[in-house]
Structure 1
Amino acid sequence: MAEDHDDQGPAQYSSPPCFMHELDPEFRAPLSDWTDVRRWRKAERERLIAARLAVSADARAAMSQRIAEGLDAVVGEIAGRMVSLYWPFRGEPDLRPWMASINERGGRTALPVVVEKGQPLIFRAYAPGDRLEKGVWNIPIPAEGDPVLPDIVISPIVGIDPGNYRLGYGGGFFDRTLAAMPFKPLVIGVGYELQRIATIYPQPHDIPMDRIVTEA
């Protein structure tokens, strides 16, 4: 009669099925199921946001300034171009001074607006001093104005992997928006070095950033 091994703990093998966990400290078993990926992303999102918030406000301000300088180097001439930015949220890089400088140099700026869950974002023109109102999560959005199409989209990241795939907040707004645009803008992810991760387990709907700019 066969013995029941269920209550005797894991079976022991003469050699493990995979040695990668011993060779590479960054190794993690691949996730193939979307349910597992979604659960992993949720936990990783919480970990990375907590790490970002643990950095002092002064340090984040200094890193934000370096990110702005890096963006100038990547974007180049700004006059006549429309740049979508964002209002900083939960420790994201604060690029509002850079936003003001774009307008001073002949460029134009916009902010994203959530219209409806499950739908693409729209962009509304915004310059410092324009009237704002509270949007989703109480993040300020332009109170009025027709939608615009940015030439450059600056997107904050929660995490980023070597393929420039972005871990966001999980709503799917960003990928949905890029897929719906009539032309592809230059898409730049911004964040801190501490937000680099080995993979986000990209799915078919994920769209990679064109460039990444951090304080480094």
Structure 2
Amino acid sequence: MTADDPDEKPGATYASPPCFMHEVEGLAEPTNPADPVLWADVRRWRKAKRERLIAARLEISADRRAEMSARIAEGIDAAIGSPAGKTVSLYWPFRGEPDLRGWMASLVARGGRPALPVVIEKGQPLVFRAYRPGDRLEKGVWNIPIPADGEEVIPDVVIAPVVGVDPGNYRLGYGGGFFDRTLAALPRKPLVIGVGYEMQRIPTIYPQPHDIPMSLIVTEAAGPA
């Protein structure tokens, strides 16, 4: 996000969701697309769909989003069970995403270990740094707050906000490809929980060979699916 972002509010601070907020349309180029012409068509379709879904999400009132976020937090608890001893990558809300900052505090209270993603370089996988509420943050790439001193960790659980999601648990994100690149590079696969609102469910994202589905989805209307 930059100062030119029309959705940025003065004085607001945001941290990046794993592979999502800082993704910029046009960066995601599969190394070996199965069909370059088809991929170009899919990219255009995804961009248009993304814009419509984000616009619809921003129309939800803050009070309604808070209610839905609380229900989503309950669904996450049902999905992962006791968080004690688990490292969980989280995010700060961006452009109407579910707000799970309160759940992060409860995670720490129950013995879980939060982490935040860090962009090292465009076109490269993210790394995850340990973070606890109150730890010092600094501006990272694109001025996104990141843990200033946290050690690098491998998450057991990655909580990923979605722009859209289809029945195969394929996620429509912000278009930069960080999500798939990061999951492919991890030494072990975490439990990946996509979180969003029911209105973000779509028939398909037209998944391509490079797309990696999430483990499960949690919305305000249902538990893990």
Q: TM-score under structure 2 normalisation?
A: 0.80
Query: Which one of 167, 176, 179 corresponds to residue 171 of structure 1?
Result: 176
* Residues 139 and 89 of structure 1, relative CA distance in 2, 3 Å threshold: farther
Name the structure 1 match of 2:195: 190
Q: Which residue of the other structure, out of 201, 204, 211, is the alignment partner of 2:216?
A: 211
Matched, 1:88 2:78: no
> Counterpart in 1 of 2:102?
97
Report the secondary structure of 2:181's partner residue: helix
Aligned with 1:66 (options 71, 86, 90): 71
How do 1:12-161 and structure 2 match up within 5 A? 33-161=38-166
Contact residue 124 and residue 142 of structure 1 kept, 8 A: yes
Alignment RMSD? 1.0
Q: Hey, which bits of structure 1, 4+ residues long, moved more than 4 A?
A: none
Give the Cα–Cα distance (whole angstroms) in 1 for the partners of residues 141 and 44 of structure 2.
23
Same amino acid, percent of matched pairs: 79
Task: Please state how far the C-alpha of 1:134 moved relative to its aligned partner.
Answer: 2.6
Measured at CA, do residues 56 and 137 of structure 1 come closer, stay the same or move farther in structure 2, by a change above 3 Å? Answer: farther
Query: Within 1, Cα distance between the matches of 2:162 and 2:143?
Result: 19
Instruction: Provide the rounded CA distance (Å) in 2 between the counterparts of 1:208 and 1:117.
Output: 22
TM-score (norm 1): 0.83
C-alpha contact (below 8 Å) 1:87/1:140 kept by paired residues: no
Between 1 and 2, higher relative CO (CA 8 Å, sep ≥ 6) is seen in 2
**How many matched pairs?**
185
Cα distance, 1:114 vs. partner?
1.0
Which whole-Å CA distance do the structure 2 matches of 1:198 and 1:136 have between them?
Answer: 34
Shift, 1:144, TM fit? 2.0
Deviation at 1:87, TM superposition (A): 1.5
Deviation at 1:137, TM superposition (A): 4.3
Q: Deviations over 1:91-150 (max 9, x none)?
A: 110101001101000110001111111000110001100111233444321122221001
Give distance in 2, aligned partners of 1:136 and 1:150.
21
